[in-house]
Structure 1
Amino acid sequence: MRILIAHRSAIMLGQLQRRLERLEIEVVRAATGLTEVYDFAEHHEPDCVVLTTDIADCPEFELLATLFSIMGIGCVVLGTPQQANVTDAALRANPAIRVLPGTASDSDLIAALGPSRRRRRPEVIVAAPASNGRVDPRSTILIGSSTGGIDALMQILRHFHAATPPAVIVQHTGGNFAGSLIRLLDGVTSAKVLAATHDASLQPGHIYLAAGDTHHVRLRNAAPARIKLDEAPRQSGHRPSVDALFHSAVPFAPHVTAAILTGMGRDGAEGITALRAAGARTFGQDEATSVVYGMPRVANALGGIETELPIQQIGPSLLRAALHRQRA
C-alpha cells in the first residue's frame, strides 16, 4: 500500500512517517500543505492519504475530498475529537473519509487504511438538445456557488456540451486551487472548462471559471459578451463575488439564464434578484440537496428565484431555458 502523509509541522510529519514505516507501510510522499497533497494525489494516485486536522479543517479540503472520491483514494484524518472538524461539504463529497483521534491504536490505524471503494466520475451527457432554430445567439448561462458547490457543479456540467451557450461560474475556492478545480470540472463535461481571462469573448461550448481570488469577474455588454476582470474590493464578503458577476449582466438580462447553488451567506442573492427583475430566467438549488442552504435561501426570500429545484434537475433545466429562448 502506497501512502501519502501530510502535516504542517515537519517534526510531527517525521514522527508520523516513522510510525507508519514501523508498521511496514510504505510512505511515498510527505507533504506540508494542501496544495502539495492535491498535486501529488492527482498525478500519482496513492492508495491512501493520511493527514491531520490542521490541513483538513479548511473550506478548500472539499476539493481534495472530491478528488479522492473520484479517484478511489482512501483518506484518514488524524486529530483529537475536538479538532476533527472536517467540513460538512468535504464529508458530503466523500463520505468514505475516516476520522481517527491522533491517539488511535496501531490496529485502528491499519484498519482505517483499508482499500477505498472507487467511485465513477459522473457520466457525461453528450447529446445536444434540439434548438428548433430559436436559440438566442447572445444566450449566456451564469452560475454562482460556494460551500458544497464543487459536487453540485459536477452534477450540472455533465449535461453541458459543444452547443451549450457560454457559461460563466464563480465558485468560492481558495486562489491556489483554481487550476485544480478547472481540471476537475473539465473532466466531467464535453464542453471546455477554462479560466476566465480579461477581455475574452464568450463562445458556445465554453465554461469560464473565475480563477484565483485577486479579481472579480464581470461581463461587458457586447455581441458576444466579453469578460472584464477587476481588482475592486471584496463584494458581499468575497472576491470573486457572485453578486459582482450577476449585477454586471443586468444590462442584458433578457439573454441570461442564471442559477445560484449551495453556499453559506448571501453572495449572489441580490444579484440574481436584480437579474430576474430585468428579465433573466433564474434557478435556485433546493434545501434538501444543498450542503448549506444559505445563498439560495436568501435569493428565494428576496424573490430572485423563478424556479427552485434539486441539483439533479438544474443542469437540464438551465439548458432548456438557455437554448429555447426567443431571439431578443
Structure 2
Amino acid sequence: MKKIKVLIVDDSALMRSLLTEMVSLAPDLEVVGAAPDAPTAREMIKVLNPDVLTLDVQMPKMDGIEFLSRLMRLRPMPVVMVSAYTQAGSETTLKALEIGAVDFIGKPQAVGGRTMEDYAEELIEKLRAAGGARIRRQPVVQPGGSDSLVQVKPASVGRVSGAMSGKIIFVGASTGGTEAIKEFLCGIPADCPPILIVQHMPEAFTASFARRLDGLCAPKVLESKGGERVEPGTVYIAPGHSHMQIRKGASGFMTELLQTPPVNRHRPAVDVLFDSAASCVGKNAIGVLLTGMGKDGAQGLLRMRQAGARTFGQDEATCVVYGMPREAFLIGGVEEQAPLDDLARKVLQAATR
C-alpha cells in the first residue's frame, strides 16, 4: 500500500509533535518531515516531495498565507490549513481556501468538548481526502494586494423572475465547497429563486463566509438565524452550529434551525436540508450537490428526486473531492451531472420550467 506522504509546517514544536503523533496513527499516512517555518518547509518540499501539507497561518519569517500564495503559484499541491477558530482566523482561512488550500481544521486546543481522538480522526480524514484532491489552478490573491473579500457586489447577470417561478434551490457541499459555492453563486442573478445552502463548516466561519459571498455575488447572502421568510433574490447559509431546514408557515416558506444531533457526523447536515425540501417543497425544489467527501446529501437528493424535484451533481472532473456527488449519482439521486462552470446555467433553466 502506497502511503500518503505528509509534511507538517508549524512554528510550535509542541504542535508539530502533536500533529505528527496523530497523523502517524493512520496506516496509510506517513509524516515525512516537520518544518518550523516557511523557508525550511520550502527546502523540505524539494527533498521529500510530500503529497500533502498541513500549514499553520501564524509563523515567523513568512506567514502561512504568503507561503501558500507562493506555493500555489510555483508548485501547486494539496494543503490543509491548521487555523485558530476565531473571527480573524476565519477570515484568514477563507482567504487561504480562495488561494487554493483544499481544507482546514482548527488547532487541537480549540476543539471545545471534543476529545483528542475525535480531533485526530477528523485530521486523518481530511488529509486522506486532500491526498486524492484535484488542485485547481486559480488566480492567486496576493498578500497586500486586491482582496476579493471586499469586491463590489455585481449587478444582476440576467433575469429569472424568482418570484414567478415558484422554485426553491437547495445546495449542499463539503470539502472544496467554499470556492465551488462562490463560483456557482457568481453565475446566479440578483432576482433568482430563493437558495438554501449547507456547507460543512464550523460555526465561527459561517458568518464570515456569508459576508464574503454577499460582497461577491448578485443575490443577497446571509447566515440564517432561523425563522426567516424564504424570499426570491436571497441566499440562506446554514450556521455552523445548527441543522437548517425549510418548513411551510402561515405566510409562506420559512427557515428553521435545529440543535438536534449530528447526521452523517455533521451539523449542519445536507441530508436534513434536502429531506425537508423533499417533504415540504417537492416538485418545486431543485437540488444541487457539490464537491465534498463522504455521503452526506446523497440519500436526501434521492428523496428529492423521488418527490419530483430536479436534481444536479457536480461532475468528477471539476470536484476537488468527488465523494458526495458520486454517492448520490451511484444511488440514482442525480438526474444530471455537469461541470461546475455550467451548473448555474442548468439550474436556472430548470427554475424556469
Using the size of structure 2 for normalisation, the TM-score is: 0.62
Question: Relative contact order (C-alpha < 8 Å, sep 6+): which is higher?
Answer: 1
Q: Does 1:274 align with 2:303?
A: yes
Query: 1:1-328 alignment to 2 at 5 Å?
Result: 7=11, 49=66, 56-57=81-82, 64=92, 67-68=95-96, 87=130, 92=136, 124=154, 126-129=156-159, 135-137=164-166, 139-213=167-241, 215-222=242-249, 224-251=252-279, 252-322=281-351, 324-325=352-353
Distance 1:227 1:249 in 2: 11
Change (3 A) 1:8 1:174: farther
The answer for unaligned runs of 5 or more in structure 1 is 20-32, 38-45, 73-82, 98-113
Work out which of the two has the higher radius of gyration on C-alpha atoms and give 1 or 2.
1
Distance 1:59 1:147 in 2: 18
What is the SS of the residue equivalent to 1:159?
A: coil
Q: After superposition, what is the alpha-carbon deviation per residue over 1:286-321, rounded to whole angstroms, capped at 9, x for unaligned?
A: 001011111001101111111100000111111221
What is the SS of the residue equivalent to 1:232?
A: coil
Using the size of structure 1 for normalisation, the TM-score is: 0.67
Contact 1:62 1:148 in 2 (8 A): no
The answer for unaligned runs of 5 or more in structure 2 is 1-8, 17-35, 40-55, 69-78, 101-123
Structure number having the greater helix percentage: 2
* Count of matched residue pairs: 264
Amino acid of the residue matched to residue 211 of structure 2? R
Deviates more, 1:306-315 or 1:219-228: 219-228
Contact 1:243 1:271 in 2 (8 A): yes
User: RMSD between aligned alpha carbons?
Assistant: 4.2
Change (3 A) 1:90 1:288: closer
Distance 2:243 2:274 in 1: 11
Q: Which residue of 2 aligns with 1:43?
A: none
Query: Shift of residue 124 of structure 1?
Result: 4.8
Distance 1:296 1:203 in 2: 27
Q: After superposition, what is the alpha-carbon deviation per residue over 1:20-61, rounded to whole angstroms, capped at 9, x for unaligned?
A: xxxxxxxxxxxxx86xx6xxxxxxxx995469xx98247999
Q: After superposition, what is the alpha-carbon deviation per residue over 1:145-193, rounded to whole angstroms, capped at 9, x for unaligned?
A: 0001111111110022321011000001122111221122112211111
What is the SS of the residue equivalent to 1:246?
A: helix
What is the SS of the residue equivalent to 2:252?
A: coil
Distance 2:197 2:84 in 1: 18
Query: Shift of residue 92 of structure 1?
Result: 4.1
What is the SS of the residue equivalent to 1:225?
A: strand
Contact 2:210 2:223 in 1 (8 A): yes
Contact 1:96 1:116 in 2 (8 A): no
Query: Shift of residue 233 of structure 1?
Result: 0.4
Distance 1:160 1:202 in 2: 17
Distance 1:93 1:225 in 2: 39
Deviates more, 1:255-264 or 1:177-186: 177-186
Contact 1:263 1:294 in 2 (8 A): yes
Q: Which residue of 2 aligns with 1:108?
A: none
Contact 1:62 1:90 in 2 (8 A): no
Contact 1:66 1:94 in 2 (8 A): no
